[in-house]
Amino acid sequence: MKSNGEHEKERKWQVTQQVASNLIVVAGGIVLYLILNNLDVVKDVVGELIGILSPFMAGLVLAYLLDGLARFFQQKLLGGRHRTFAVILAYMVTLLLLGLLLRIVLPQVVQSITVLVNRVPEYLRSLNTLVNDLSEQYGLDAKGLEALVGSYQDLIRKATDIVSNLLPQVVSYSAAIGSGVVSALTAVISSLYMMLSKETLLRQIRKLIWALMPEKAARRTLDICHKANAIFSGFINGKIIDSVIIGLLCYVGTSILRMPFAVLISVIVGVTNVIPFFGPFIGAIPSTMILLIFSPLSALEFVIFVLALQQFDGNVLGPRILGDSTGLSPLWVLVSIIVGSGLFGFAGMLVGVPTFAVLYTLLREYLNDRLAQKGIDEAGNPVAAAPEPQALAENEKPCAEK
């Protein structure tokens, strides 16, 4: 048997939870100091690592986007079975839609851009003539109008020069295109494997979480992941469907109104509509500028039409498709877009809203739990404590049993 001195010596060298926490804090501080002291090296290493893993990250994004379509086919058409066939069907439908897009829409977009670039000088001369006629007819300030038109013409010329210079350089980018094709194929293949082995990957991730985290933290982590997935999938899939419908409606409307470059404008409006809140404005501004150099009347008609279309989207179509997938008020949507775009650019504008919605949900749950612990509501008024489950069961028994 061990003596008391030996027991004391063993207890002295045992690592308690507090000691482990202190060691983790100290180690974290040292690591943070080393990272900040060698920030350039860390950025280069992280950049190279992201460049290597970028095809797999793109594959993960693609798998996440197509998983909703695969689950729809699996549940609605295949009775909840045949996951492999549902995944293949989702990829076939996606490839078919992309093929139709490349076959029908892309040539018309390229043709519209080519015509637009070639006819810019003619459009600008017509714009000058219109401005001179207006200034003579209505006695407007000719110098102010000329300055405005001159600024607009400079902007159009710069945009035209950029497009004209980029078109011949496409041929010289064959190596980059080849590398991009390899990366795209890697992303598609990796996304296919991810979707086919979805259940296995999720089971491995859950196993890792349960093994490395305390039980309470593991349950909380899985709960957060479940809520984040529901918010992200509902918002992103709904926004894609909403943008496709808006693009089609824009094409129908501009075709009925006989506007020039209907396909090009509809693609711009549909793509930019993916961005919440600012999307309609981002898409309407370049479209209006394109129409303005062709026909000011068409530009005015388009502005009226796109305002009506976005009102329909914001008040009728969007709420029916998206519902309350984020639970954010318009103010917080605006804040999330501005912060997301400031931190991560265009990607931040796309995922800023669902990311902020997840953080908002977690904060709301935390505050509600704190109020419940204090026994008050959000106005500070006392709240009656909920009856204990055992007492509640006793009260619900029939009178004959009491």
- pLDDT given at position 176: 46
Q: Is the dihedral of CA 288, 291, 296, 299 positive or negative?
A: negative
Indicate if the pLDDT at residue 171 is higher than 50: no
Indicate the pLDDT class of residue 170, thresholds 50, 70 and 90.
very low
Q: Assign 19 to helix, strand or coil.
A: helix
pLDDT in tens, 303-319: 999 989 888 887 888 77
Choose between 70 and 16: higher pLDDT. 70
Q: What is the mean pLDDT of residues 330-340?
A: 83
Indicate if the pLDDT at residue 204 is higher than 90: yes
- pLDDT given at position 222: 92
Q: Is the dihedral of CA 266, 271, 276, 282 positive or negative?
A: negative
CA neighbor of 291 nearest in space, from 116, 149, 125: 116
Q: Assign 385 to helix, strand or coil.
A: coil
pLDDT in tens, 237-268: 888 888 889 999 999 999 998 888 888 888 88
Indicate the pLDDT class of residue 206, thresholds 50, 70 and 90.
very high
Q: How far apart (Å, rounded) are the C-alpha atoms in residues 112 and 297?
A: 19
Least confident of 2-6, 124-128, 293-297, 353-357: 2-6
CA neighbor of 326 nearest in space, from 369, 284, 277: 277
Q: What is the mean pLDDT of residues 26-35?
A: 81
Q: What is the mean pLDDT of residues 146-153?
A: 55
Please indicate, yes or no, whether the overall pTM of this predicted structure exceeds 0.75.
no
**Location of structure tokens 């991810």:** 194
Contact of 353 with 328, CB cutoff 8 Å: yes
Indicate the pLDDT class of residue 174, thresholds 50, 70 and 90.
very low
Indicate if the pLDDT at residue 396 is higher than 70: no
